[in-house]
Structure 1
């Protein structure tokens, strides 16, 4: 895998966007800029369907954890398999709210682009909604950010990761959102991460989820 230099664009503009929504709506689904909880639950279900299962607890890393809504989903709906959870976000404001909501869960404030090595292995990473809003970043700048962060997350995953982005196969397009062609996502993943890639776009939302696995764990 090729090393990625830090993005030239100000990717913290995305952080500021979510901190603005948090300040407006509080620590809930709207505070992390999702329109409703049902669609968010669908995204969680799809992403976790790609996580490994086994006798030992699966170590999950929630990148861009926000206020910890994935932990809510895990506790309520994912009781038939063993897992441990760690949430990570670049925003101290988000993590403060996550810790207040779930004082016994683990949350970290971390900029993985600036410091990619976590010093501990995780089995599977989830990046839900991290690559949805691009604000004033250009398409090229956003792609640079996406690829750099994915490469950093990949360094800490023993089995694989999942991320979602908005599809280009829609009858609408928003300039403040990040639409990424599936072939571009696949080309990056196979070139920089692993040849074991799977895409799901069968769950009724205007996006797709990409799963990437290390060769030793594929299948």
Structure 2
């Protein structure tokens, strides 16, 4: 092998190493290092002010700054919100003859219910909403006084909540804000497992996909498919579907009994 061949071999090896490094970075969400790395499993959620209150505060700020509209719910475009609503509602089996009971977990100001009405789905759904923000629920109640609304933290003590056929958690896990990845993942796992106990048929939620991103945001929550599947199969249910076919960077998951 002459000098030129050695140089070409070294260049090829260097290019391969760079490709592998880039691929690893592409597959792993960027982690926020300036925030505490406390794991929520070591931080009882019912003691003091848990880390997830940062998410609640951020949602309250959205509502205060933008009002009762898609921006106030954290969406940049209304059509994106409508796509989220359409896809996440497909957890429901529409082939049954009787209406289903549905809990909109983290309902905010009931924009999902507005979508249900606009698309003539209300006759098939007995809708209820739950949120931890009282000001959001007050807006919901003023718009839809006939609906049942719950203002509670399901992770704090005994939750006085009935069972529902389906529970939808739309955009509950898409942003972690100031939480670390480890904090947000622990919060996600604890909450999903707890909420699943209150459904009769299934739940649905969405998170951002690290495998389809060109760039990352420090405030969003990216969860790899393999980590999600391992958690669901071990702790919740092996009966689940992952939807990543609607041209947005978040994927939707249906988990069934």
* Alignment TM-score, normalising by the size of structure 2: 0.78
Match of 1:149 in 2: 191
Does residue 1:193 correspond to 2:236, yes or no?
yes
- Post-superposition Cα deviations, 1:91-130, rounded to whole Å, max 9, x if no partner, equal 1111111112222222211111114644421001111100
Find 2:226's aligned residue among 183, 193, 198. Answer: 183
Instruction: Please tell me the root mean square deviation across aligned C-alpha atoms, in Å.
Output: 1.7
Find 1:159's aligned residue among 184, 188, 201. Answer: 201
CA distance in structure 1 between the aligned counterparts of 2:204 and 2:85, rounded to whole angstroms: 10
Number of residue pairs matched by the alignment: 211
Query: Aligned-pair distance for 1:135?
Result: 1.4
SS of the equivalent of 2:91 reads coil
- Which structure is larger by alpha-carbon Rg, 1 or 2? 2
Match of 1:10 in 2: 51
Is the Cα–Cα contact under 8 Å of residues 152 and 159 in structure 2 kept in the other structure?
A: no
Note the 1:101-140 alignment, pairs <5 A.
101-115=143-157, 117-140=159-182
Larger helix percent:
2
SS of the equivalent of 1:114 reads coil
Match of 1:40 in 2: 81
Segments of 5+ residues of structure 2 without an aligned counterpart are 1-40
Segments of 5+ residues of structure 1 without an aligned counterpart are 215-219
* Alignment TM-score, normalising by the size of structure 1: 0.91
CA distance in structure 2 between the aligned counterparts of 1:203 and 1:164, rounded to whole angstroms: 12
Match of 1:174 in 2: 217
CA distance in structure 2 between the aligned counterparts of 1:177 and 1:80, rounded to whole angstroms: 31
